[in-house]
Chain A
């Protein structure tokens, strides 16, 4: 066997292995670099970050402020283009897509729960939850029926007609979760989901997400500072200065 043939075989094996990894994992991030600013103000927010997030897994990304968590979250969800590296979500290289394709992909595949919920105060709770379905061109009435079904799942069916401002922080968070999950996404992204909640409510919310929202066909990625909810994670990626500094899983999470 010549050197060239060996190299080709190795590349083929590598590609096959890579495809297998991408098929097994909901998210595969490889060699991600991201810079902000120009000249002397240029800073590196992500440094050679690689990781996978599996189906059926609740993955936390933790680290101090400025460590690059939010940047990483934005890059893997198709919101912020990396300067180097690749992201595969559900086997599709998202940064090879056009801007409109990425929007479409996000709408179909990824559910978002924002830190401040970003609910529309002038819409009812049910209408807020129905937004992803409306953007997916589902008829209005049908979207509302579906939204109310998911409000029932999060225990807020009797709040469907109220505007979000009439709800408590925990209830608003559950509305945001219902909105994220209503279009049945395979990947869910939570940005500091407990930041505005007290300890008990925060734990109750994450417990609900772990046991009612997470399933074998879904992956949940949570960026958080809140150590009180670490016990619900399957794995925790720790970031510092834009780099992954370690992975905790199993008993090590509780121990650590």
Chain B
């Protein structure tokens, strides 16, 4: 909106606000930093939750069958092989394949060990395979073949290339390709992909071996029936979104992560409210007599309220925009220096920050409006 398109009263309010540069700067600073802090907290939280479901997102199966005690993709509980066969026989299932997910110790050339996530893909279909950057996917069937994921943790295996060898639980492993995935893992360890059969051969196993059974339903309408049938088997079937939600819920409410970040977000809100509220209130108080003079001249109460709300809204939206810019800039810079940095600006984070800014503005302007409405033009004469 151009300045010329504002009504006279709004333009008056705009000039009264913006021409008081020191106060306007303090107001903007308060809102900007409040938004920045809130966004950093919520985007970090959002990033952590997103990464906690990285396996689910990267594999991309429509339905995941698992032990009912599973809380997150990283805490899989092996299931007997018959589960896969039983699931395949459920009407509405187009196909079902096993997935292995576990952690192995990689012995590097210098004799040190590094933990790595090992993902074992179904030998037949390689369902859930990553996008290859170097090498060929079919080489995964070669002897001791492993694919390494090029992410922030890749360097922890001494930046291997195709042909690099190392040991996993005293078994020889050879890098046959490099690939990328949509989302990096949460735990800061490298990821290796191989076939399901090799994974269960290399890594020590309990009685059962299947971490998950990945199901492709014939149609979305078949999903409820599949879930019901899996439940009868004594297992749990979740859609991709449900599994992501369950994982997020677990991290939010069972790890203390959610509460800690919530407290920090509330602190940011209180800081923002204090700075902005106090500055806006001071701004109103300093202009109180002049608002009284406007009343005496003939300004109506609702016109004065409109002016104050305009000032508050303009400040809030400008500060909100600056806060988003600052957050995006800091996040981008942080990701350049720290590839593991998890923060992720999402629309819910932006929406949440906007709601909090609106609350800050509503409280600040409510106090201001009350004072302005209470002043009597008679007081202007008496002063």
Most buried by B among A118, A123, A191: A118
Q: Contact check, A135 vs B381: say whether CB atoms are below 8 A apart.
A: no
Most buried by A among B15, B287, B376, B378: B378
User: Which B residues are CB-close (under 8 A) to A21?
Assistant: none
Most buried by A among B11, B294, B377, B381: B381
Indicate whether B290 reaches chain A with its CB closer than 8 angstroms.
yes
Partner of B297, one of A127, A131, A191: A131
Shortest Cβ distance from B18 into A: residue:
A122
Partner of A122, one of B19, B378, B380: B19
User: Which B residues are CB-close (under 8 A) to A134?
Assistant: 8-9, 11-12
Indicate whether A237 reaches chain B with its CB closer than 8 angstroms.
no
Q: Contact check, B296 vs A114: say whether CB atoms are below 8 A apart.
A: yes
Binds B, one of A24-32, A138-146, A227-235, A238-246: A138-146
Q: Contact check, A100 vs B300: say whether CB atoms are below 8 A apart.
A: yes
The answer for the CA separation of A112 and B381 in the assembled complex, in Å, is 10
Q: Contact check, B8 vs A118: say whether CB atoms are below 8 A apart.
A: no
The answer for the CA separation of A120 and B4 in the assembled complex, in Å, is 21
Partner of B8, one of A80, A114, A122, A137: A137
User: Which A residues are CB-close (under 8 A) to B296?
Assistant: 77, 79, 106, 112, 114
User: Which A residues are CB-close (under 8 A) to B300?
Assistant: 100, 103-104
The answer for the CA separation of A66 and B292 in the assembled complex, in Å, is 22
Q: A114-B381, A118-B290 are in contact. Are A135 and B19 (CB under 8 A)?
A: no
CB distance from A172 to the nearest CB of B (A): 13
In chain A, residues 110-153, which have Cβ atoms closer than 8 Å to a Cβ of chain B? Answer: 110, 112, 114-116, 118, 120, 122-123, 127, 131-135, 137-141, 143
Q: A107-B298, A135-B9 are in contact. Are A70 and B381 (CB under 8 A)?
A: yes
Shortest Cβ distance from A107 into B: residue:
B298
The answer for the CA separation of A212 and B287 in the assembled complex, in Å, is 32
In chain A, residues 83-112, which have Cβ atoms closer than 8 Å to a Cβ of chain B? Answer: 99-100, 103-108, 110, 112
Shortest Cβ distance from A137 into B: residue:
B8
Q: A115-B381, A118-B380 are in contact. Are A123 and B294 (CB under 8 A)?
A: no
User: Which A residues are CB-close (under 8 A) to B9?
Assistant: 134-135
Q: A103-B299, A122-B19 are in contact. Are A131 and B381 (CB under 8 A)?
A: no
Shortest Cβ distance from B7 into A: residue:
A137
Q: A122-B19, A123-B19, A140-B11 are in contact. Are A132 and B297 (CB under 8 A)?
A: yes
The answer for the CA separation of A74 and B297 in the assembled complex, in Å, is 12
Q: A106-B298, A118-B290, A131-B294 are in contact. Are A74 and B381 (CB under 8 A)?
A: yes
The answer for the CA separation of A47 and B293 in the assembled complex, in Å, is 27
Indicate whether B303 reaches chain A with its CB closer than 8 angstroms.
yes
In chain B, residues 180-206, which have Cβ atoms closer than 8 Å to a Cβ of chain A? Answer: none
User: Which B residues are CB-close (under 8 A) to A77?
Assistant: 296
CB distance from A184 to the nearest CB of B (A): 14
Q: Contact check, A140 vs B299: say whether CB atoms are below 8 A apart.
A: no
Indicate whether B110 reaches chain A with its CB closer than 8 angstroms.
no
The answer for the CA separation of A120 and B12 in the assembled complex, in Å, is 10
Shortest Cβ distance from B289 into A: residue:
A118
The answer for the CA separation of A134 and B294 in the assembled complex, in Å, is 11
The answer for the CA separation of A230 and B363 in the assembled complex, in Å, is 50
User: Which A residues are CB-close (under 8 A) to B232?
Assistant: none
Q: Contact check, A135 vs B15: say whether CB atoms are below 8 A apart.
A: no
Indicate whether A248 reaches chain B with its CB closer than 8 angstroms.
no
User: Which B residues are CB-close (under 8 A) to A253?
Assistant: none
Indicate whether B337 reaches chain A with its CB closer than 8 angstroms.
no
User: Which A residues are CB-close (under 8 A) to B298?
Assistant: 103-108, 110, 132, 135
Indicate whether B20 reaches chain A with its CB closer than 8 angstroms.
yes
Bitwise interface map of B from 297 to 315 toward A, beta carbon under 8 Å scored 1, else 0: 1111101000000000000
Q: Contact check, A115 vs B383: say whether CB atoms are below 8 A apart.
A: yes
Indicate whether A23 reaches chain B with its CB closer than 8 angstroms.
no
The answer for the CA separation of A138 and B7 in the assembled complex, in Å, is 9
Q: Contact check, A114 vs B378: say whether CB atoms are below 8 A apart.
A: no
Shortest Cβ distance from B11 into A: residue:
A140
CB distance from A69 to the nearest CB of B (A): 9
Bitwise interface map of B from 243 to 260 toward A, beta carbon under 8 Å scored 1, else 0: 000000000000000000
User: Which A residues are CB-close (under 8 A) to B20?
Assistant: 122
In chain B, residues 271-302, which have Cβ atoms closer than 8 Å to a Cβ of chain A? Answer: 287, 289-290, 292-301
- In the A-B complex, the 9 residue pairs with the closest CB atoms: A107-B298, A134-B8, A122-B19, A118-B293, A106-B298, A79-B377, A74-B378, A103-B300, A80-B378
Given contacts A103-B298, A135-B8, A135-B294, 6 further A-B contacts (CB under 8 A): A79-B376, A107-B298, A108-B298, A115-B383, A134-B8, A135-B298
A-B contact pairs, 13 of them (CB 8 A): A70-B381, A79-B381, A80-B378, A99-B301, A106-B298, A107-B298, A114-B296, A114-B380, A122-B19, A134-B9, A135-B8, A135-B298, A191-B381
